[in-house]
Chains A and B, each alone.
Chain A
Amino acid sequence: MTSTRLESEAGQAKSLVEEASKITIPRRVLDSIESHAISTYPEECCGLLFGDFGSRNSSKSVARSRRMRNAFEPSERYHRYTIDPREFLDAEKEAEANNEEIVGIYHSHPNARAAPSQFDKAHAWPLLSYLIVEVVGGKPVDFKSWVLSDDQGSFKEEQLNIVE
């Protein structure tokens, strides 16, 4: 989405999308996600990123991740994931109780690029980060984070700021 197009959108949504273009994540969280992706290979893993969205002028930050069960039918888990709605609801309540927010979802792409698929796009929600780990031969080889554009037409890669 171009900046000109954004300017024609509602101001508030515009600001939030621009805010979501950077995400700070601790190395230990990435390590945990990669371990999860290795443990479920050749099936996809999935989980949630907890943290905060930051103020209007700062970026999203992740404090911790939580592994979730891939509830897709077993024969399809090599290329699909889903989180059970009730388990997601429980995670939302956990976030509320800890004064956190669910800022994103992570999942792995076994033997596929760390880029969103059409299926990812069809199921994506605005504002949330979608961190994808590419796993080849059981080893994580790449990870990227993406956020949906406000018009849901495309994904934009986020700048990952990895901190110790």
Chain B
Amino acid sequence: MIGFWTLFYKEVLRFWKVAFQTVAAPVLTAMLYLMIFGHVLEDHVRVHGIGYTSFLIPGLVMMQVLQNAFANSSSSLIQAKITGSIVFVLLPPLPYSSFFIAYVLAAMLRGIMVGVGVLLVTVWFVDLQVVAPGWVLLFAVLSGALFGALGMIAGIWVEKFDQLAAFQNFLIMPLTMLSGVFYSIYTLPTFWQRLSHYNPVFYMIDGFRYGFFGVSDVSPVHSLAVVASCFALTSLLTLALLKRGWKLRT
């Protein structure tokens, strides 16, 4: 267990030492989104009877949780692979399950820290109620872990920073932006509504939002089942890659 805790501690220390970049900067970005979109749309748009700024906040929080969890594990692995310092974790007797859990927990922690930061600075703009905190926590933890695991797959798979940027810009960013962060999918044309149901991030944001307002586009139990299944599949794939040493051991 000491090996696992050390790897977890190292991963947390790694992002904490550059917290201005890894925690403060995404909080500022989310605040800018809120100020701009909230100012423009607050008087014109209501979703499920909720004011637009209030509706937007949970989406922004979850978007930052996901993007930062992904960034943490993926950047840590790609940096270690490129600099060669990955040998320091490959040489010791660490079981691959410890490797997986330590990276995913650290990624999830960074995502949630950024999410809490976003929440703390944005609640000054509106009086935000949380009707079901259990759902909020459950979706934050599970979704952060899922994107932490996805970041591990990306970090193991890619060999250059530009490949990782492509992964982020052409997969992660569209999935999060087109998931209902800024709108309810029921405001979309039928085709795009249907397509949104194939985006797992939609369920993460919808379930997370349910915890705040008690209303959602689909049932939170349905969302939880989708997110939990995606997490299970991603975890199994990551564990299989680590066990094989794919792109880590020659």
A, B assembled together:
no
Interface residues of B (CB under 8 A from A): none
